[in-house]
Amino acid sequence: GAGVSQSPRYKVAKRGQDVALRCDPISGHVSLFWYQQALGQGPEFLTYFQNEAQLDKSGLPSDRFFAERPEGSVSTLKIQRTQQEDSAVYLCASSLAQAGVSGIQYFGAGTRLSVL
Amino acid sequence: AQKITQTQPGMFVQEKEAVTLDCTYDTSDPSYGLFWYKQPSSGEMIFLIYQGSYDQQNATEGRYSLNFQKARKSANLVISASQLGDSAMYFCAMRDYSNTGNQFYFGTGTSLTVIP
């Protein structure tokens, strides 16, 4: 597709359930990012991939959060044993550039996760 | 300290008028990039404009321009000839090398409403 695609758009989970969120970046984009956006806030960085390598996971809030990009294209963000505080919109972005401050990130529409 | 500060939670503008959305940033790195994104109610973050720290001229993209005042560390977005479709959340973001250079730092956003 032309843009970053995320699925599902909405996910309702019971507390303690595991969830998996998918991101399909723009074809050919080397860099992939995950962000968490709480209600009324700006997005906050979770993790970064360059191709299949996870180079930065400093923003993952706990060891219940896990991300992978095994073939350097599609990425999955997994949250184990979900908690209510995990409720947020999870945004994925991709960038053509490998590094550098000028790399424009293109975002998907996000997955809205609600944990009951 | 906040990397990006947006002090206007909400702004109103009359259709066809110009509006300025404020953004100040904090970094000690000489090399950084500043970005503005629009987030309509659909949730997708739409890239609007980019300004590099070494750029001599203010960036412009159609009706969007960035008023870059380096000494004051401000990067205000100017939208000229506002349209009803401009109603959305607007986020200022910065990327620098202070951490790993991999993440964007976002502000808390400004909600813009265009009045017919």
Share of chain B residues as helix, strand and coil, in percent rounded to the nearest 5 = 5, 50, 45
Chain B residues 50-109 with CB within 8 Å of chain A: 50, 52-53, 91, 93, 95-97, 99-109
Q: Which residues of A touch B103 (CB under 8 A)?
A: 33, 45, 48, 56, 59
pLDDT at A2: 79
pLDDT at B97: 72
Q: What is the pLDDT of residues A20-56, one digit of tens each?
A: 999 999 999 999 999 999 998 999 999 999 999 998 8
Which H or E run includes A116?
Answer: none
CB A25 within 8 A of CB A73: yes
Q: What is the pLDDT of residues A56-84, one digit of tens each?
A: 898 999 999 999 999 999 999 999 999 99
Please state, as a whole number, how many other Cβ atoms lie within 10 Å of the Cβ of residue A38. 12
pLDDT at B43: 87
pLDDT at B101: 63
CB A92 within 8 A of CB A107: yes
Q: Do B32 and A103 touch (CB under 8 A)?
A: no
pLDDT at B1: 65
Q: What is the pLDDT of residues B3-53, one digit of tens each?
A: 999 999 999 999 999 999 999 999 988 889 999 999 999 888 999 999 999
Distance between CA atoms of residues A95 and A2, nearest Å: 13
Which comes out higher in pLDDT, residue B106 or A98? B106
Residue A98 confidence class, pLDDT cut points 50, 70, 90? low
Q: What is the pLDDT of residues B78-108, one digit of tens each?
A: 999 999 999 999 999 998 876 666 678 999 9
When scoring B64, B104, B105 by the number of chain A Cβ atoms within 10 A, the one with the most, hence best to mutate, is: B104
pLDDT at B109: 96
How many degrees, rounded to 5, is the angle at CA B61 between CA B47 and CA B57?
110
Q: What is the largest CA-CA distance in chain A?
A: 40
User: Exposed/middle/buried for B16, CB within 10 Å: 0-12, 13-18, 19+?
Assistant: exposed
Mean pLDDT of B40-69: 94
